[in-house]
C-alpha cells in the first residue's frame, strides 16, 4: 500500500483528562521509550501515562524476567522526574495469577476502573504494523484512541489501512527518529560494549549488578 496516512482526524484528539497507556516488554527500557511516552504526553496534553510492563509477552518472548523489567522501568521513570509517567504492574500481576494479560484485557480493566474516561494507547511503528494481529484488535480500536509514532509522510501500511477501515481514531505523535532498540542493547551487553546513553545510568547499573542479558535467551546461564 503506497497511500500516505491521512492527516489525523480532528475528532481523534483526546481530551487532556484522557489516560495514556504505553505498553511494552521494556527488555530493557531505553531512551526511545521515554521519548515516545513524553512526546505523546506533551503533544496530546495528557496528564498521566501508565507504563504497562508486559507479563508474559503475547507476541514475543522476553529475555529478562518480569520482575527485572519492572524494576528497570521503575528506575528509568524515577530518573525522569516526570509526574505524568506512572508505572503500572497490572499486566505482570495478571500473568503471575494466570489471568489474561493481553492488551484487550488491560483496556477492559482500565474501563472498569475508570468508567467513561477516554483511553489513549501509545505505540511505535513496529507495534502499529502488527496491530491487526493483536487479540480482539477490532474491539480495541473502538475502545481507545491510537497515538502512533511514525515517520511523517511514510506510506500507510496494510495494517494502518485496516485500522482506518475499522474506524480507528488515530493521532500522530511527532518524534525525531532514534534507532535505539532493546534488541541492540541486549546485544551490546552480550558483546561487552558500553551502553552509552541508550539507557539511564541507574538501568545500566541494574543490568550490570544483576548480570542480565549476558547470554542469549535459551542459552547456557
Interface with ligand ATP by CB under 6 A: which residues?
A: 24-27, 32-33, 36, 123-127, 149, 178, 180-183
Q: Report DSSP state, residue 53.
A: E
For the CB of residue 116, give the shortest distance to ligand ATP in the complex, in Å.
26
CB-wise, 115 or 126, nearer to ligand ATP?
Answer: 126
Q: Do residues 203 and 75 lie in contact, with contact meaning Cβ atoms separated by under 8 Å?
A: yes
CB-wise, 39 or 79, nearer to ligand ATP?
Answer: 39
Neighbouring-strand partners of residue 121: 21, 146
Residue with the three cell numbers 548480570: 211
For the CB of residue 20, give the shortest distance to ligand ATP in the complex, in Å.
12
CB-wise, 13 or 35, nearer to ligand ATP?
Answer: 35
Structure-block grid coordinates of residue 170: 488515530
Neighbouring-strand partners of residue 96: none
For the CB of residue 96, give the shortest distance to ligand ATP in the complex, in Å.
19
CB-wise, 67 or 126, nearer to ligand ATP?
Answer: 126
For the CB of residue 81, give the shortest distance to ligand ATP in the complex, in Å.
21
Rounded distance between C-alpha atoms, residue 203 and residue 209, angstroms: 10
Q: Which of 113, 107, 114, 112 is nearest to 146 (CA)?
A: 107
For the CB of residue 95, give the shortest distance to ligand ATP in the complex, in Å.
15
Residue nearest ligand ATP (C-beta atom): 124
CB-wise, 14 or 24, nearer to ligand ATP?
Answer: 24
Strand order in the sheet with 145-149: 85-88, 48-53, 19-24, 119-123, 145-149, 169-173
Q: The dihedral of CA 195, 121, 93, 74: what is its sign? A: positive
Amino acid at each position: 500500500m503506497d497511500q500516505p496516512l491521512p492527516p489525523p482526524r480532528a475528532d481523534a484528539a483526546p481530551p487532556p483528562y484522557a489516560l495514556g497507556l504505553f505498553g511494552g516488554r521494556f527488555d530493557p527500557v531505553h531512551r526511545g521509550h521515554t521519548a515516545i511516552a513524553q512526546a505523546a504526553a506533551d503533544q496530546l496534553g495528557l496528564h498521566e501515562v501508565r507504563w504497562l510492563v508486559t507479563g508474559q509477552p503475547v507476541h514475543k518472548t522476553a529475555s529478562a524476567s518480569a520482575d527485572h523489567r519492572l524494576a528497570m522501568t521503575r528506575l528509568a521513570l524515577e530518573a525522569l522526574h516526570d509526574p505524568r509517567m506512572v508505572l503500572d504492574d497490572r499486566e505482570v500481576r495478571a500473568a503471575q495469577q494466570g489471568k489474561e494479560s493481553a492488551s484487550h484485557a488491560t483496556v477492559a480493566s482500565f474501563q472498569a476502573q475508570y468508567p467513561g474516561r477516554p483511553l489513549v494507547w501509545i505505540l511505535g511503528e513496529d507495534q502499529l504494523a502488527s496491530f491487526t494481529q493483536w487479540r480482539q484488535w477490532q474491539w480495541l480500536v473502538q475502545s481507545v484512541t491510537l497515538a502512533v509514532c511514525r515517520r511523517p509522510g511514510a506510506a500507510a501500511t496494510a495494517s494502518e489501512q485496516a485500522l482506518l477501515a475499522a474506524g480507528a481514531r488515530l493521532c500522530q505523535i511527532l518524534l525525531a527518529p532514534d534507532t535505539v532498540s532493546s534488541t541492540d542493547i541486549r546485544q551490546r551487553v552480550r558483546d561487552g560494549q558500553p551502553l552509552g546513553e541508550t539507557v539511564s545510568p541507574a538501568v545500566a547499573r541494574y543490568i550490570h549488578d544483576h548480570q542480565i542479558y549476558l547470554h542469549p535467551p535459551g542459552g547456557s546461564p
